[in-house]
């Protein structure tokens, strides 16, 4: 039993590493944020559709009452990815990921508003620590304030998406929701492109290794990673899952430093602020899980 858990733990670390690699791919791919997201969502949806057709045709079924929420989710995740990749393009991987790391605590603050419960004291404490960390990052990298702000918006949208899906996942399969949200986001992206004067057919032209990076992003880091992440969660505790997921920005930043070396190194205050953000997220998760008595 322990060997099964160990194998799934290693596999889940690999999946989270793939999630972190997403930001690196966003920087490597030459096309702008909107075409990049259209490629990602369209190809990822095709990947899931093929998986359904071959292994689980019944996964296509979605209750009619969920379509409104699914369409909203598709719009939110599409805009989230556009802002995420745009922040990477203008501010770099490390800065964008440091802001995305705030998503867990943003969710902890937003969730009480949607579930109509009081915000707990420890959530305010850890939220305050996160604010201090973000302030240090802002001061250290003020010239990238636009990119930092857009990345924070992306983290906020990610939190909204998490809360929305958390309510829907008890009514339908998570992978089914993902397929339709990806499909909706893809068609919304095409619609935006059709009415946009700034995005033309030339905006979708790929250079050099772009096609390879986009296929890795869509099929490996999205379709495959999402499917496997659901399977391994059956063998891991909530505490382990949360701790590993919170390593995503760390993995992403380490990968960017290995690939771009000196170009991705930032000021000492940035790393101090980032450590404060990560510390507050980890402590928030540990405290919440211990308080709820989850193993």
The pLDDT, as a whole number, for residue 106 is 78
Number of Cβ within 10 Å of residue 286's Cβ equals: 13
Q: Rounded to an integer, what distance in angstroms lies between the CA atom of residue 140 and that of residue 100?
A: 17
Confidence at residue 40, expressed as pLDDT on a 0 to 100 scale = 93
Interval 168-220: pLDDT, tens: 877 888 889 889 999 999 999 999 898 887 888 888 999 889 999 999 999 99
* 295 has pLDDT over 60: no
CA distance 61 to 239: 31
pLDDT given at position 288: 67
CA distances from 74 to 115, 189, 246, 280 (A): 22, 10, 24, 30
Backbone angles phi, psi at 183, to 5 degrees: -65, -45
- The rounded mean pLDDT for the chain is 83
CA distances from residue 49 to 14, 66, 105 in whole angstroms, order as listed: 23, 19, 33
- pLDDT range class, residue 83, cuts 50, 70, 90: very high
As a whole number, mean pLDDT of residues 146-151 equals 88
21 or 134: which leads in pLDDT: 21
What's the whole-model pTM score? Answer: 0.82
Q: Could you give the percent of the chain with pLDDT greater than 70?
A: 88
User: Residue 291: which residues within 8 A CB-CB, separation 6 or more?
Assistant: 122
């Amino acid at each position: 039993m322990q060997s099964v858990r160990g194998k799934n733990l290693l596999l889940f670390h690999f999946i989270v590493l793939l999630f972190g690699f997403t930001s690196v791919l966003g920087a490597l791919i030459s096309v702008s944020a909107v075409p990049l997201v259209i490629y990602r969502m369209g190809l990822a949806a095709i990947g899931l559709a093929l998986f359904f057709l071959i292994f689980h045709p019944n996964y296509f079924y979605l209750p009619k009452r969920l379509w409104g929420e699914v369409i909203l989710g598709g719009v939110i995740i599409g805009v989230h990815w556009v802002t995420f990749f745009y922040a990477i393009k203008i501010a770099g991987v490390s800065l964008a990921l440091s802001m995305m790391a705030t998503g867990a605590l943003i969710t902890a603050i937003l969730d009480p508003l949607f579930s109509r419960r009081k915000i707990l004291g420890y959530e305010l404490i850890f939220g305050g620590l996160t604010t201090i960390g973000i302030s240090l990052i802002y001061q250290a990298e003020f010239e990238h304030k636009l990119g930092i702000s857009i990345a924070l918006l992306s983290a906020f949208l990610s939190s909204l998406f998490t809360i929305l899906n958390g309510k829907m996942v008890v009514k339908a399969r998570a992978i089914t929701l993902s397929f339709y949200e990806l499909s909706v986001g893809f068609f919304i992206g095409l619609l935006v492109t059709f009415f946009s004067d700034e995005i033309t057919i030339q905006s979708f032209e790929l250079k050099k290794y772009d096609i390879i990076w986009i296929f890795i992003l869509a099929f490996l880091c999205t379709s495959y990673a999402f499917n496997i992440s659901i399977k391994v969660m059956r063998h891991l505790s909530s505490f382990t899952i949360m701790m590993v997921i919170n390593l995503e920005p760390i993995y992403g930043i380490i990968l960017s430093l290995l690939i771009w070396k000196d170009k991705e190194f930032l000021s000492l205050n940035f790393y101090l602020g980032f450590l404060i953000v990560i510390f507050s997220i980890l402590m928030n998760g540990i405290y919440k899980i211990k308080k709820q008595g989850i193993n």
